[in-house]
A and B are shown apart, each in its own frame.
Chain A
Amino acid sequence: MSNYSSLLSLVPLLPFFSAVILLFSTLPKLWISILAVGSVASVALISLFFNFIFWQQSDFILTANLGTWIHIDQLTINFGLYLDALSLVMITIISGVGALIHLYSTGFMYEDPSFKRYFIYLNLFVSAMLFLVLADNLLLLYLGWEGVGLCSYLLIGFWYQDRSNNLAANKAFLMTRIGDTAMAIGLFLLFTHLGTLDIQEIQSKAHQTWSLSNNTIASICCLLLLGGAVGKSAQLPLQNWLPDAMAGPTPVSALIHAATMVTAGIYLIARNSQLFQLAPDVLYIIALIGTFTLLLGASAAMVQSDLKRILAYSTISQLGYMFLALGVGAGASAVFHLMTHAFFKALLFLSAGALIYCLHHEHNIFKMGGLFKKLPIVAVSFAIGCSALASLPFTSGFFSKELILEQVVASNHTGLWWAAVLGAFITAFYSARLFFVVFLGKTQSIPDAVPTKAMSLALGILCVFSLVGGIHPEGLKTLMPPLHSNGLSALHHWLPITLPFIAISLAWWMFKTKRFGKPINSTLLQSVHQLLKSGWAFDRLYQTVFVSPFKFLCQLNNRDIIDLFYRLIEKISCALHMVFSHFQNGNLRRYNASLILFCILAFAWYITGELTL
């Protein structure tokens, strides 16, 4: 087992070392690509190897220890790694999809002057994410959490010469920071009450210390951890950084904001599932948040005209599905949907990237059209991705989404089920709209480039996985047992399967009658359209509630009250200088007078001295 431990310890370290080597050396582009892609690809191979040897077992645990980090009194934090079914799924996704995205980036970013910096950040991100999912204690998890937040900031603002990119990166960082602070406070509370930060120990000690009837503190801790997850996974109310984060390069959006970083919140809750079982109220809140978010994302994606923003809102919506699944207690299906979502969303983002690359950075879908014959590979990838997103039968998305809907039924939350079904309908609608508007109809912009070989290869592999990747990992079912259902009624079974087809036909009719992309006549519909397009106007809400009062307060402090104190000191010393400089004005008579004055004072001193004697 020790060989496996050392192999495990290589997993998060390989990309980190690659980033460090890239940082301190100057290599030609070929070698940079080989090093960067190679490190993540070797991690992918290691994780496939682990999958292979642990194929039959469903409750294996593999640990490794990279060294002690903190050792004070009773607190010992190691750089400990913990591999079980959940983390194995995560590292397979991260390294697999990550390696494909690295390969894709070598083609996409080839003409960019900061080629090396891009791969340093990307490798650093993969390393931090692997630390996050392999951590055996919450503090190391938090380290990875912060690391991915940092790399996300660096990569969103990658083209930093443009100020709007910097603002988008700041927005992402600040909003996730709010969640991070909540999570940190949750960590402190957990440590205070349970005395440990080791994840498995927390799960067992929580059940000993708290029970379902005495669970206020457990609820508070879970609520705080939920805060962190909400920030990182772009759920309500911290979701409006994700559409703006599309300012970064498209492979970055694919890796960070579709497949890996935004899934960190889901992972956190899944990892601490036994702790969350002690707080059913918090679980219900999670389900509610998930439902509202999925409706928000879907309705907003319906009316966008920017290609990447559609995919961003779609990501928010699908993450809502995962939160819903976690909230009703079906963690295994949430992680399964995470896996399939990683495949098809990465595929969609990478195809979008290929589209943008071939059309010279055109983002507006209403300026594209009829590209089916001109870019066949991209069109096929998009078709497969959109059908997986719409959960058409026998794509990977179909299996995971149907499973989630089944589990929601089994938990007897009918209202949530109807909301989720409505969301599925809208999802299918907008994915069909996207495909039709971009690839069918009249050609408006002519592509003058084709995707490079690296890009096409990555797209091809992801297409395959999006079609056949719908295999539920068994180990997850052991860790997070699914809800037992008493059989589904016919409505519950067949409605979700037929809905996508209805939605696609509706979209086809609207496309044929040319209703997409035309200005709307009635003002009511126009305001509804505006509301949906801005993501339920959350940006405006936060602007008026938080940003404007803060700016007002800063305006009040424009003269800088604290600085006034120091300026006062300066003024006093200047005044003293004015006073004292009169003693040196070159006036001889004044010098004489001061001589006599001090003579008088000396005599007076002597007299008083003699008197007291």
Chain B
Amino acid sequence: MLDTIFIITAAIILISAILTITAHNVVHALLYLIVTMLAVSLVFFILGSSFAAALQIIVYAGAIMVLFLFVTMMLHQGEKSLAQERHLFHFSSSITALVLCSMLFFELIYLLFLMPVASNTIFTTALSPIVTVKQIGMQLYGPYSLLVVISALMLLSALITAIHISKNPSTTKIKTQDNDL
């Protein structure tokens, strides 16, 4: 039963991923991406990581994708953007990428599944017990506390960078002119 759900979810992931990257409209692509993320969250649930699944929905699909959408709203110009996008992405211009990616895909499949190796031990492991949120919290406050600090630093630097880059250049210029006078 879990297998069937998993297969259906996997199919949804793949189909919506393909639809994401071949869309002409940015908003459509973002919506497909959100569907993909929700399906991935479902896969996390199937795998027993409820914490990760919850985070996926809340943070990833809820915050990051919404950020994407805000920026798209700022930059999207309706029909003109659509026409531009059709001009930019054409099936014939992506032949090279298609060839390269399919080659990579087949190579990876061969490496992992079709190589004549004596024993594939990774395919025979059993499941480990499900981890609770409490255990994750204890890990975070214990052995992996440095990771938390580092990720905080990363977010801080991203924040500063984003503020600085997206400042309006006209406001900064006026200050320097005052200094010259």
Given a CB threshold of 8 Å, the question of whether A touches B is answered with yes
Is the Cβ of B115 less than 8 Å from the Cβ of A596? no
Chain B residues near A604 (CB-CB < 8 A): 107
CA separation between A610 and B96, bound complex, in Å? 28
Interface residue? A70 (CB, 8 A) = no
Interface residue? B68 (CB, 8 A) = no
Q: Contact partner of B111 among A593, A596, A597, A606, CB < 8 A? A: A606
Q: Contact partner of A603 among B97, B101, B108, B117, CB < 8 A? A: B108
CA separation between A606 and B111, bound complex, in Å? 9
Is the Cβ of B96 less than 8 Å from the Cβ of A593? yes
Chain B residues near A600 (CB-CB < 8 A): 100, 103-104, 107
Is the Cβ of A610 less than 8 Å from the Cβ of B115? yes
CB distance from A605 to the nearest CB of B (A): 11
Interface residue? B110 (CB, 8 A) = yes
CA separation between A156 and B96, bound complex, in Å? 77
Interface residue? A599 (CB, 8 A) = yes
Chain A interfacial residues counted at CB < 8 A:
10
CA separation between A593 and B101, bound complex, in Å? 10
Chain B residues near A574 (CB-CB < 8 A): none
CA separation between A5 and B107, bound complex, in Å? 97
Chain A residues near B115 (CB-CB < 8 A): 607, 610
CA separation between A593 and B110, bound complex, in Å? 21
Chain A residues near B111 (CB-CB < 8 A): 603, 606-607
Is the Cβ of B104 less than 8 Å from the Cβ of A607? no
Q: Residues 101-120 of chain B: 1 if any A CB is under 8 Å from the residue's CB, otherwise 0?
A: 10110011011000101000
With CB as the reference atom, state the residue of chain A lying closest to B110.
A607
Is the Cβ of B104 less than 8 Å from the Cβ of A599? yes
Q: Residues 192-204 of chain A: 1 if any B CB is under 8 Å from the residue's CB, otherwise 0?
A: 0000000000000
Contact of A593 with B97 at beta-carbon distance under 8 Å, contacts A607-B115, A610-B115 already known? yes
CB distance from A413 to the nearest CB of B (A): 96
With CB as the reference atom, state the residue of chain A lying closest to B101.
A596
CA separation between A600 and B107, bound complex, in Å? 7
With CB as the reference atom, state the residue of chain B lying closest to A589.
B97
With CB as the reference atom, state the residue of chain A lying closest to B96.
A593
CA separation between A610 and B103, bound complex, in Å? 18
CB distance from B76 to the nearest CB of A (A): 22
Is the Cβ of A597 less than 8 Å from the Cβ of B107? no
CB distance from A447 to the nearest CB of B (A): 86
Is the Cβ of B100 less than 8 Å from the Cβ of A597? yes
CB distance from A585 to the nearest CB of B (A): 16
Is the Cβ of A603 less than 8 Å from the Cβ of B100? no
Is the Cβ of A593 less than 8 Å from the Cβ of B100? yes
With CB as the reference atom, state the residue of chain B lying closest to A606.
B111
CA separation between A600 and B103, bound complex, in Å? 7
With CB as the reference atom, state the residue of chain A lying closest to B114.
A607
CB distance from A12 to the nearest CB of B (A): 84
Chain A residues near B108 (CB-CB < 8 A): 603
Is the Cβ of A603 less than 8 Å from the Cβ of B96? no
CB distance from B105 to the nearest CB of A (A): 10
CA separation between A599 and B105, bound complex, in Å? 11
CB distance from A582 to the nearest CB of B (A): 14
Chain A residues near B96 (CB-CB < 8 A): 593
CB distance from A481 to the nearest CB of B (A): 101
With CB as the reference atom, state the residue of chain B lying closest to A597.
B100
User: Within B70-122, which residues are at the interface with A (CB < 8 Å)?
Assistant: 96-97, 100-101, 103-104, 107-108, 110-111, 115, 117
The 17 sampled A-B contact pairs (Cβ below 8 Å) are: A593-B96, A593-B97, A593-B100, A597-B100, A599-B104, A600-B100, A600-B103, A600-B104, A600-B107, A603-B107, A603-B108, A603-B111, A606-B111, A607-B107, A607-B111, A607-B115, A610-B117
A-B interface, 7 closest residue pairs, ranked by CB to CB distance from nearest: A603-B107, A596-B100, A600-B103, A600-B104, A600-B107, A597-B100, A596-B104
Seen from chain B, the residues whose Cβ lies within 8 Å of a Cβ on chain A are 96-97, 100-101, 103-104, 107-108, 110-111, 115, 117
Q: Add 19 more A-B contacts to A600-B100, A600-B104, A600-B107 (CB < 8 A).
A: A593-B96, A593-B97, A593-B100, A596-B100, A596-B101, A596-B104, A597-B100, A599-B104, A600-B103, A603-B104, A603-B107, A603-B108, A603-B111, A604-B107, A606-B111, A607-B110, A607-B111, A610-B115, A610-B117
